[in-house]
Amino acid sequence: MLELFAYPVSAVMKLWHVVVSALGFGSSASWLISVVGLLVTVRLLLLPISWRQRQNAHASTLMRPEKAELQQRLGSSSDPEDAREYLKAEKELHQRYNYGIAAGCLPPLIQIPVLLGLYRLLLWMSQPAALAQHRGPFGGVGVLSARDVQEFMDAHVRGVPLQTYLAMSDAQLDALSISRQQANGVVMPLLITACVLTTLSLIVSVYYVYRYMDYHSAVTRGTARFMLVLIFFVPFMLFSAGSTGPIPLALILYWIGSNLWTLVQTVAMYTILEFQYPEDERHHAHRRAGKDLLKARKAEKKARKAEDKAFVRSARSQGVSLSDARAQLKQRQKDRIAADAQQRAEDKERKKAANKARSTARSELMKERAAERRELRAQQGTPPKKQKGGRHRKR
């Protein structure tokens, strides 16, 4: 299965190698540049999608105040007319801000296969047994010929071949005609650079997440906290993987370039969008309201704890034993938890009823639009579209 990813990756690298070689570069430099060319090719292909994804996220941020007002006005209603009005208002809001729900799903689906393909390609070329097992139709790996593979294996950075990784055994390093000290002197600084750039990219992402975070959303707050925790673990995890696993030098170079590109692209896109579509006082007020709501909830929890302590002290002052006072407090807390659970259940039922009403209204609106399209085609004399499944059944 992973062999499929190696073919497009090797094809792009082969194309870049041919182009760079035609410009007069040597074989070693050409293969090194082909790794960078692979990165540039992938990221340029993804640039329009990434830009649309960032626009979509910014539009979602700008819509929050109006979306909150709409939710407060019609979101909890299960009335069919309110549901239709909610859907129409939501659609108008999305169109006004050019918001698309499905935007932004493709970048990970493209980048992950590229990384897997490059990883397998380099790993097979660094292990003769694996190379013999996965030899392609052109004698090498993927679309690379045996000569291409040999030239790639001879390519190096300061005397260290591109397929070198830190966890190589002494026998493997001897086969590459390099010492462990020489390998560590080149691969280790690049690995540390890759980890630092990855961490910086994550820090920048977390900064923007917190800057534009919707404090009214528990899911968003949880995701932001999780990303904040990752900052402290990711560098050590990546360094451990790079120093103890088969992570070739060429993949580390790709890793460095990819994270540097991501870092610059993230800052540039956010800066451009902030300049083109700045937030106004409504957005700041909405975010402050979310923060104030969180503070109020924390203050309420703190007040409840103080109230519980005061309840125990009051019971003790009236001659109630400590065990009885704690039992009364426990029952009091159970009653409070039950009341909160009942309130949540009622809210959930209202939300479920509202969602069901909107789902029904959405289906009705889709049927109405389909009927309008059929009527318009009939007026224009356009033949109706064939139904899925082939010919219409004869009655």
Nearest to 59 by CA among 104, 26, 111: 104
Task: Please count the residues of the chain.
Answer: 395
Q: Tell me the C-alpha distance between 288 and 135, whole Å.
A: 60
Helix (H, G, I), strand (E, B) or coil at 85: helix
Strand partners, 145: 139
Q: Is the dihedral of CA 192, 231, 38, 240 positive or negative?
A: positive
Strand-pairing partners, residue 160, are 157
Q: What is the predicted pLDDT for the residue at 392? A: 46
Blockwise average pLDDT, block size 10, the chain, 395 residues = 71 88 86 88 86 87 87 80 85 84 59 70 63 62 78 84 85 86 92 94 91 84 88 90 86 90 93 89 86 87 88 84 85 87 85 83 83 81 58 45
Burial of 28 (0-12, 13-18, 19+ CB in 10 A): middle
Distance of CA 235 to the CA centre of its chain: 18
Residue 245: per-residue pLDDT: 84
List, as one string, the DSSP characters of 324-376: HHHHHHHHHHHHHHHHHHHHHHHHHHHHHHHHHHHHHHHHHHHHHHHHHHHHH
The residues pairing with 139 across neighbouring beta strands, listed in sequence order, are 145
As a whole number of angstroms, the distance between CA 71 and CA 387 comes to: 37
Identify the bridge partners of residue 157 per DSSP, sorted by sequence position: 160
- pLDDT, position 260: 94
Please give the structure tokens belonging to residue 327. 């039992």
Cβ atoms of 298 and 222 within 8 Å: the answer is: no
- Give the DSSP letter of residue 145: B
For residue 282, CA distances in Å to 157, 288, 289, 308 come to 54, 10, 10, 39
Which residue intervals of 127-248 are DSSP H helices? 128-133, 146-154, 170-175, 180-211, 218-244
Asked whether 220 and 228 are in contact (CB, 8 A), the reply is no
Rounded to whole angstroms, the Cα distance separating 18 from 108 reads 28
